[in-house]
Amino acid sequence: MTRNSVRSALAIALTLAVAATVGTAIAASPKRATKSTQKQTGPKKMTAPDVAKKDHVVKTPFGAERNDEYYWLRDDTRKNKDMLAYLNAENAYADSILNPLKPQQDKLYDEIVGRIKQDDSSVPVRERGYWYYSRFETGQDYPIYARRAGTMEGPEEILLNVNEMAKDKNYFNVGTYDVSPNNEILAWAEDDVGRRQYVIKFKNLKTGEVYPDTIARSSADFVWAGDNKTLVYVENDEKTLLTTKVKAHVLGTDAKNDTLLYTEKDDTFYMGVDRTRDDKFICISLSSTVSNELRCAPADNPTDFRVLAQRERDVEYDADHLDGRWVILTNAPDENGKPATNFKIMTAPTDATSRSQWKEWIGTRDDVLLEGFELFDGFTAISERSKGLERLRLISADGKESYVDADEEAYSMGLAANSESNTDWLRYSYTSMTTPATTYEINTETGERKLLKQQPVIGYDASKYETKRLWATAKDGTKIPVSVVYKKGFKPDGTAAVLQYAYGSYGMSMDPGFNLSVVSLIDRGMVYAIAHIRGGQEMGRQWYDNGKLLNKKNTFTDFIDVTDMLVKEGYAAKDRVAAYGGSAGGLLMGAVENMAPEKYRVILSQVPFVDVVTTMLDPTIPLTTNEYDEWGNPEQKEYYDYMLSYSPYDNLKEQAYPSTFIGTGLWDSQVQYWEPAKYVARLRDLNTSANPIVFRTNMDAGHGGKSGRFRRYREQAEMYSFMLNQLGIKD
């Protein structure tokens, strides 16, 4: 809820580039499934790579032991020759399987990229007298960030041309940027590896001079102080990548001498910095899975950071400041100890330092989840969720309430970039599975609505497609929402192929939005379904609570129950179901592949978190300590036993597995490459089916895959062609 600054324009630009993508015991080794695969995929004969087993006993503090025979594939330096040779061999084997599908890959790629308006630009955002925006040029992979003074008719001033910055680099990303309060100095964070260890650099926008100042090992979180020469930023730990320190850098000085402002000693907390809505404060935000704390200091002198309210376990809050008061979103309990499970909104005076000074403004409700808000001089916009769908509530200064209307049965709606508070106009985003990303603004006084931009999709006609909200019944009776999209004229007669997607972790809701690449699948007669399973927050906070820790298996069984519903209701043939997930959604894929392999023809898994127990036992791995309240701490036997019972790597067994495509990045900092590498090695060892297993490692990228707006679609077209081939869908 803190200030939507120039960085909001960056977020819009990045959305242009990525919004079109989707929308997470050892048995004897059977013979490898190679012969039938070779018959399907072409004359070039190549067997699946062999990988050596090396006994490695993993121990826990209470004496449990497991043999992790592929542990040797882990190399934090990414230089081990044997490990690299194995990954390269897997890539070569993937080529032997996928190269015969190249004509279809090329066609898919051409279709997807052909829908993109190449010379596109974002909706301009006004900030301190300038209009900020990003734009793409035809044929270019990366955005150009620019601004114009006064009006959009003025001369363009290019801030960053990322195409030039990314030349001769296999990977490049500008994580964020910010302009000093006097509009003269640009700071930006760049990463040329994909590991999210950024380097911050500076540029004088009046002279074009790039300063020699550089700040290494930074997160992409930073903000200018009011003196226009001090940058407050977050430093990452070199090994764990945890955000451990907040520092202040003064332009013209050596970053080695930067002032330490705050050190976080609890490694279960993430850290970030931002300015408040009214620019009066810089706040350090500290957050774990179940707790938050804000420490704020005057923006003109950010040295003495004072706590807004001390952290307490199971008390979350976030706050913003405008018009002489703090406005706080929280789940803090009331005076009787009853928590606000779906959150409430409080207010507090500027000098507040404890929860005792908070007063309730908007109470909690069992049927509505409050997710965020934006403060304006004359009204407040509240982002909330009811019956699995997002909505925006407007509250005027005199207390009158209204809602922003939606146009469809299943959709996604949220706050857009609203960088200034002195306006009657609210910008918001809208999309559905048939409606491309759209930005509107609505006048909160008159109700007038303006369409600012709808993402152009070349050759796409929304009237040819239909979206619907379905409900599946879980084994425990819970109703699970499912969003589907298909081409008009489709008949649910039980013959179609379906791609079922889900995430189901961290309380992240996978709302029904437009997916550029999925159009190619729907045009080939497929149904695309998003399963809104427990572990997200689609149905309120309890939806998340019932899909984490010792309730995590609900996430997996919900997904399987959705599959059963789609088959039963005729939306999919029982032998033509493909499942897709990434990162924590890759954990989901690994779990359902173990639990119900017979129900899926194809599993697609990107950067999958599949070695849950080993990773969560290792606090040196990035993200581990921050996530004990998401998965549990396996040093406690109750959690160890539960995690071990579903961890995909640990539950592989000798059985027939579906066709599987797994992708990863060598430099991934979120899910280390060795998790899927180990998983694939063991999966090959135990699989008794003749279905192909493809493992693709991007040797130059991290968690998000290749950089650039077009190159990512090469990877997606490759994965889709594998899926279509296995489903028997030909052009």
Residue 361, both tokens: 């403004």
Catalytic residue among 8, 121, 285, 583: 583
Give the span between the Cα atoms of 121 and 118, in whole angstroms: 9
Report the run of H or E that residue 554 belongs to, with start and end.
helix 553-568
Question: If 0-12 CB within 10 Å is exposed, 13-18 middle and 19+ buried, where does residue 508 land?
Answer: middle
Q: What are the backbone dihedrals phi and psi of residue 48, each rounded to the nearest 5 degrees, phi first?
A: -60, 145
In 215-269, where does DSSP find H-type helix?
A: none
DSSP state string for 17-31: HHTTS----PPPP--
Instruction: State in Å, rounded, how far the first CA of the chain is from the last one.
Output: 47
Contact predicate 243/263, CB 8 Å? no
Catalytic residue among 221, 703, 707, 721: 703
583 belongs to the catalytic site: yes
DSSP state string for 483-519: EEEEETT---SS---EEEE----TT--------TTHH
Torsion region of 153: left, alpha or beta (phi above 0 gives left; psi -120 to 50 gives alpha): alpha
Give the span between the Cα atoms of 35 and 17, in whole angstroms: 40
Q: Which residue has the tokens 């995909």?
A: 648
Contact predicate 728/667, CB 8 Å? no
Give the span between the Cα atoms of 255 and 456, in whole angstroms: 44
Which residue, 415, 457, 131, is CA-closest to 277?
Answer: 415
Residue 176: DSSP 8-state: E
Q: What is the distance of C-alpha 425 from the center of its chain? A: 29
Report the run of H or E that residue 468 belongs to, with start and end.
strand 465-473
Catalytic residue among 274, 561, 668, 685: 668
178 belongs to the catalytic site: no
Which residue, 525, 543, 517, is CA-closest to 720?
Answer: 517
Instruction: State how far the alpha carbon of 257 is from the alpha carbons of 187, 213, 215, 251, 362, in Å.
Output: 19, 12, 11, 12, 45
Give the span between the Cα atoms of 58 and 613, in whole angstroms: 10
Q: Active-site residue numbers?
A: 583, 668, 703
